[in-house]
Amino acid sequence: MNIKDLLRDAYLLQLKDGFFTVKSLSKLIKRSYSRTFSILKELQRKNYVKSLEKRNKGETRYIVDEKGRRRFKVILTAGTYDIIHTGHLKTLEEAKRRGDVLIVIVARDKTVEKIKGRRPIIPENQRRTIVQSLKPVDFAILGSEKDFLEPIEKINPDLIVLGRDQPVNKRKLEKELRKRGLECKVVRLRVWDSSPLAKTSKIIKKINETFHISNI
């Protein structure tokens, strides 16, 4: 296993649990405890990971250090993902291809209401659960209701990916990021799904047509 894959796997555990241990990493990379222990010692020697101060008698907790973090690429994207369709999936798969870890910020109900004038059909927690369950997605979190840059600042991604039709001004976003000292790039994807029902608005239209007529 190469160092990049190891560090990425360790980082995925850290996203979920806040840290990783020999045990949790050993389970994820399917290597023995002793093998994982010696791998981890080597990564620590190279300053790729560091141990956290022991707070109790439990296992030593580790996190990926700044030098280790620079060995893999974290991609960030965001959206409402109200009714999941192949258009979403295609964008997420393409976003994942741009790097090693894909983190998705799922818009809060209140934020969508502010922008679109109505809440999404599916509540935020269920939307987050579905996005988290998609194979290209490593980690899905809910956005902030107050400051949309807050989770981006915390994650400090290498690249932010915007969907083809995402109503976000790329330049304005870059300006905002620079103000906070974030150096990450922003790209807008060109991929799209030409399948007949790969847009939420089309799905909603078809549902209305189908059930409006048949229910009267």
Residues found near its own copies in the complex (CB under 8 A): 1, 5, 30, 83-86, 89, 118, 121-123, 125-126, 129-130, 133-136, 195-198, 203-204, 206-208, 210-212, 214-215
Shortest distance, position 19 Cβ to its own copies, whole Å: 23
Shortest distance, position 12 Cβ to its own copies, whole Å: 13
Which of 133, 169 has the CB closer to its own copies?
A: 133
Q: Kindly report the CA angle at 173 between 171 and 178, in degrees rounded to 5?
A: 95
Shortest distance, position 87 Cβ to its own copies, whole Å: 9
Instruction: Round to whole Å and give the CA distance between 63 and 19.
Output: 5
Which of 18, 123 has the CB closer to its own copies?
A: 123
Which of 89, 184 has the CB closer to its own copies?
A: 89
Phi, psi angle pair for 74, to nearest 5°: -100, 125
H or E segment and range at residue 214 = helix 200-215
Shortest distance, position 207 Cβ to its own copies, whole Å: 5
| C-alpha torsion angle, residues 140, 63, 30, 40 (rounded to 10) | 160
Which of 44, 86 has the CB closer to its own copies?
A: 86
Contact 111, 143 (CB under 8 A): yes
Q: With left for phi above 0 and alpha for psi between -120 and 50, is residue 181 left, alpha or beta?
A: left
Instruction: Map tokens 């600042």 to a residue.
Output: 153
Which of 15, 198 has the CB closer to its own copies?
A: 198
Instruction: Round to whole Å and give the CA distance between 179 and 159.
Output: 16
Residue 103 DSSP code: E
Shortest distance, position 13 Cβ to its own copies, whole Å: 16
